Amino acid sequence: MKKISVIVPCYNEESTIELFHQAITKMWDEDAKLRDNYELELQFIDDGSKDKTYPILKELAKKDSKVHFASFSRNFGKEAAMFCGLRQCTGDAAVMIDADLQHPVETIKDMIDKWEEGYDIVEGVKSSRGKERKTHGLFANIFYKMISKMTGFDMKNSSDFKFLDRKVVDALDSFTEKETFFRALSFWTGFRNTTVEYEVQDRVAGNSKWSTKSLIKYAFRNITAFTFTPLYFIAVLGVIVMLVGLGLGIDAVISYLLGKAVGGYPSLVVLISLSTGAILLSLGIIAVYIAKMFQEIKNRPRYILQDKE
Ligand code: UDP
Ligand code: MG
């Protein structure tokens, strides 16, 4: 019998964990094919929740031997929780899924079918953005357009809902970098991948932990964690500023030759503010990468566990 590990990052999910647990065990028990061929392992990762998530998980693990959990000492973020899940899981394959049932558990069946066909990575692709559209659909679209361009992987409608063969789990677990971007890194491993579509559901209970501000931070963090494109952007910016300067210079020479007075002050103001802006922006982008190097060099653990079972 093959074992499937279901990895569930949880941050303040006291209202959804039991519903999730019910939904997945019900599906497993009622589907003969699942029940007879695949053993289920549940790996809940409590990402330093401030509510009752941890005691609920502890209780659940006591009642149900399929349930395992790891609990962080504080909130380290979903990326850390996902990578902790990859380390903890023991299955022949693992599936990453949200606790709030926005990722329909039934889709796991389609993913297993694709896995049996020989694919190592099966990505859940949103067929619609569901409720999200209203809040941050536009922003999410821009972010995914940008990240697809910069990473060279098609990330549109991409999500963290992914099914990974043990090979991929081990490959991802072996990464030593601290700043990861799970969604793109799994493709980066290069294993055979395919997609299945799923309809994004409404959150069963509780609230999303994402504000638009945290999404923008997430986008910037991941773009700089995954690509050097912003650094190339600096070079392009330098060329543009140089061309503007050249244009103004030529204009000054022509004016001089024609015996016209050179318009000094306005062009100086434009040139100085343009180039200062460009320099500061460039320094800022370089600083971000230096800060990231600083962080990686410190080599702190990605998360700290306060309990696990
Ligand atoms: N999550 C987490 N750590 C965090 C934020 C979120 O582990 O710091 C988990 C959360 O419990 C949920 C999943 O990540 O299982 C997706 O979070 P959420 O539903 O808030 O995001 P959305 O669906 O709105 O993108
Ligand atoms: Mg959600």
For residue 207, which atom of ligand 1 is closest to its CA? 20
Ligand nearest to the CA of 203: 2
pLDDT (0 to 100) of residue 66: 95
Say if residue 136's pLDDT is above 70.
no
Say if residue 211's pLDDT is above 80.
no
Q: To test ligand 1's pocket by mutation, which of 78, 159, 162 has the most ligand atoms within 8 angstroms of CB?
A: 78
For residue 97, which atom of ligand 1 is closest to its CA? 15
pLDDT (0 to 100) of residue 128: 67
123 versus 268: the higher-pLDDT residue is 123
The mean pLDDT of the chain is 87
What is the average per-residue pLDDT within 45-70? 95
Report d(CA 123, CA 67) in Å as an integer.
24
273 C-alpha to ligand 1 centroid (Å): 42
What is the average per-residue pLDDT within 40-56? 95
Indicate whether this model's pTM tops 0.85.
Answer: no
pLDDT (0 to 100) of residue 11: 94
Nearest CA to ligand 1 atom 13: 98
Sorted by sequence, the CB contacts under 8 Å of residue 103 that are 6+ apart come out as: 97, 124, 159, 161, 198, 200, 201
Say if residue 29's pLDDT is above 70.
yes
User: With bands split at pLDDT 50, 70 and 90, how would you rate the model's confidence at 130?
Assistant: low
Nearest CA to ligand 1 atom 23: 208
Q: To test ligand 1's pocket by mutation, which of 8, 209, 212 has the most ligand atoms within 8 angstroms of CB?
A: 209
239 C-alpha to ligand 1 centroid (Å): 41
99 C-alpha to ligand 2 centroid (Å): 7
268 C-alpha to ligand 1 centroid (Å): 50
pLDDT digits (tens, 9 = 90+) for 82-117: 999 999 999 999 999 999 999 999 999 999 999 999
Say if residue 131's pLDDT is above 90.
no
> Coil, strand or helix: which one is 293?
helix
pLDDT digits (tens, 9 = 90+) for 60-81: 999 999 999 999 999 998 999 9
197 C-alpha to ligand 2 centroid (Å): 17
pLDDT digits (tens, 9 = 90+) for 141-171: 777 777 777 777 776 677 899 999 999 999 9
For residue 135, which amino acid is it? T
pLDDT (0 to 100) of residue 81: 96
Nearest CA to ligand 1 atom 18: 208
Q: Which two tokens stand for residue 51?
A: 């509510």
For residue 203, which atom of ligand 1 is closest to its CA? 19
Give the DSSP H or E segment for 269: helix 264-298
**Residues having CB within 6 Å of any atom of ligand 1:** 9-11, 13, 47, 75, 77-78, 81, 98-100, 102, 208-210
pLDDT (0 to 100) of residue 216: 76
12 C-alpha to ligand 1 centroid (Å): 9
pLDDT (0 to 100) of residue 70: 97
What is the average per-residue pLDDT within 234-240? 87
Say if residue 134's pLDDT is above 90.
no
User: With bands split at pLDDT 50, 70 and 90, how would you rate the model's confidence at 307?
Assistant: very high
225 versus 31: the higher-pLDDT residue is 31
pLDDT (0 to 100) of residue 158: 76
263 C-alpha to ligand 2 centroid (Å): 58
Sheet holding 193-199, edge to edge: 193-199, 121-128, 162-165, 93-96, 2-10, 38-46, 67-72, 305-308
| Least confident residue range of 8-12, 170-174, 204-208 | 204-208
Report d(CA 83, CA 220) in Å as an integer.
20
